[in-house]
Structure formats: C-alpha cells, structure tokens
C-alpha cells in the first residue's frame, strides 16, 4: 500500500497476518462519520451550518490533493485515486479533526493489477458518471464525489438515490443535478456555482484539482466572514454529541 502521511487522512500503522487472518491497524478517531452527522440533521427542521459544511470540505480537499499529488522516490506521479469518497469514509472528531478513511480500494496505478474496466467499485450514490460508464478513472472522479458530499451537506437531501441500485446508477450516469438553491433558498449564487462546477458531468468542466475546489470553499468562508477552524468544529461536534 502507498504510505499516505497527512493530517486529513487516517494513518495506517500496520498490515499483517495473524493465525491465517489478515488485519489492518489504523489510527483511531474519536468522533462520528459524516453519514451519522447528516442523518442527525435529516428529517429535522435544522440544517447543517454552511460554515461547518464548508470547513469539512476544505479539509477533505487538502487530504485528497495530497494523495492525488503523491510521487514515488523518483518523482514519478503515483496517480492515487480514492474511488470511494462517501459519507461513511469521512470521519469528524470531537476535537475538530477531519480525516478520510478507507483508502483501501484506492490504487497507485502501477502497484496493483489494473481494475477491470466496467467493474464498479465504491458506493453507487457517490460515483462519478465516468465510473458508472466504466471509463478509465483519474482523480477528477474523487472531485465529483466531494461535490456530492457538498451538495448533500448544504441541501440536506440525497443527490443520487433511486428505487434500486440500477435506478441510482442511471441517475449518476445522466448527472442530472437539481439546483441546490431549490432546497436551500438562502444559499448564495456563488456557493451554488461552486457545487455545480464540482458536479459537472464532463470532467473537463469540473475543478481540475481537489486543491482548486478547496480554495473555492475557503474563499466562500472568507466572503461569509466566517472564521472557522478545528477548534470551532470540535465545539460544534461536542455540542451535538456529548
């Protein structure tokens, strides 16, 4: 496995085998995953504060940008793609940490046998259109997935959910995105523009790096005059869960 050392990625300490059982020892994060946080707000009158959503997204983007830019000892890009950026794989700690977990299905291109084109990996509702179509992926698939997270965090609605897995995949394939402001009327046009760019059906029209998307979210926080940091996220988490 590629060693990824970054504050926004769960650390892998050891991979091993004990009595014919393989195991993985990884960093423990005391907190909740993003699915639990979103479910906590869904079905209530409350919405996840936009500043909380924006800050979490900036941290996810920092971790992904690091992974996407990872090089080997000779300076050759490893082309690491997570492939399963979904709410269950984003951990938010009570101290305000934000960490991406389960880089287990991520791959560095030349280290692992090629994933068969057409074999779907990842959670269906968080795939990119090109992933559903069986195209060769690059890191912009992860950027689309972050766009889905941002959409769901700001609107309180699931973006791609169908009556069956097939129906969900068709929704992803067609990349039909209801305007976020239909669900969140107080959202600024600028933030809606950021979300829609991250969710562009054609990857050439998306943000081209996770860093670009992260910078757009940081600009949103500045324009909202929201001074947000890990301490404030920790306070939010403690007020919600402790």
Rounded to two decimals, the pTM is 0.90
Q: pLDDT band for 114, please (50, 70, 90 cuts).
A: very low
pLDDT, position 35? 95
Q: Would you report the helix, strand and coil content of the chain in percent, each value rounded to 5?
A: 45, 10, 45
pLDDT, position 116? 47
Active site residue 84: yes
**165-181 residue pLDDT tens:** 899 999 999 998 999 99
Taking the C-alpha atoms of residue 122 and residue 41, their distance in angstroms, rounded to an integer, is 24
Residue 191 CB coordination number (10 Å)? 22
pLDDT, position 120? 54
**39-67 residue pLDDT tens:** 999 878 888 999 999 999 999 999 999 99
User: Which two tokens mark 197?
Assistant: 């760019």
> Quick check: 113 pLDDT over 60?
no
Q: pLDDT band for 24, please (50, 70, 90 cuts).
A: confident
**152-165 residue pLDDT tens:** 999 999 999 989 88
Averaged pLDDT for residues 104-119: 47
User: Which two tokens mark 9?
Assistant: 């990625």
**71-103 residue pLDDT tens:** 988 999 888 999 999 999 999 999 999 999 988
Mean pLDDT of the chain: 89
Contacts of 70 (CB under 8 A, 6+ apart): 2, 4, 77, 78, 80, 108
Taking the C-alpha atoms of residue 218 and residue 222, their distance in angstroms, rounded to an integer, is 6
> Quick check: 104 pLDDT over 50?
yes
> Quick check: 112 pLDDT over 60?
no
Residue 7 CB coordination number (10 Å)? 13
- Domain 29-241 CATH (choose: 1.10.510.10, 3.40.50.2300, 3.30.70.360, 2.40.50.140): 1.10.510.10
Q: Which residue, chain included where needed, has tokens 């301490």?
A: 231
Taking the C-alpha atoms of residue 146 and residue 131, their distance in angstroms, rounded to an integer, is 14
Taking the C-alpha atoms of residue 57 and residue 218, their distance in angstroms, rounded to an integer, is 9
**126-155 residue pLDDT tens:** 999 999 999 999 999 999 999 999 999 999
**Active-site annotation holder among 33, 65, 84, 142:** 84
């Amino acid at each position: 496995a590629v060693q990824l050392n970054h504050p926004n990625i769960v650390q892998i300490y050891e991979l091993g085998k004990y009595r014919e059982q393989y195991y993985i020892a990884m960093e423990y994060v005391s907190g909740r995953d993003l699915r639990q946080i979103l479910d906590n707000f869904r079905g209530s009158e409350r919405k996840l504060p936009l500043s909380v959503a924006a800050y979490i997204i900036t941290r996810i983007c920092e971790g992904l940008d690091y992974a996407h830019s990872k090089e080997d000892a000779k300076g050759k890009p490893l082309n690491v793609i997570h492939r399963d950026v979904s709410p269950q794989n984003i951990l938010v700690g009570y101290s305000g940490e934000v960490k991406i977990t389960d880089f287990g299905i991520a791959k560095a291109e030349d280290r692992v046998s090629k994933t068969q084109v057409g074999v779907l990996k990842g959670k269906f509702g968080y795939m990119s259109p090109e992933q559903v179509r069986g195209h060769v992926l690059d890191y912009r698939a992860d950027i689309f997935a972050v766009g889905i997270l941002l959409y769901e965090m700001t609107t309180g609605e699931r973006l791609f959910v169908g009556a069956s897995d097939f129906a969900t995949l068709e929704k992803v394939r067609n990349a039909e995105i209801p305007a976020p402001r239909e669900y969140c009327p107080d959202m600024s046009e600028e933030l809606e523009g950021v979300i829609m760019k991250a969710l562009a059906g054609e990857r050439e029209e998306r943000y081209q790096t996770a860093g670009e998307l992260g910078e757009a979210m940081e600009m949103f926080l500045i324009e909202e005059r929201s001074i947000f940091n890990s301490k404030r996220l920790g306070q939010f988490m403690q007020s919600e869960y402790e």
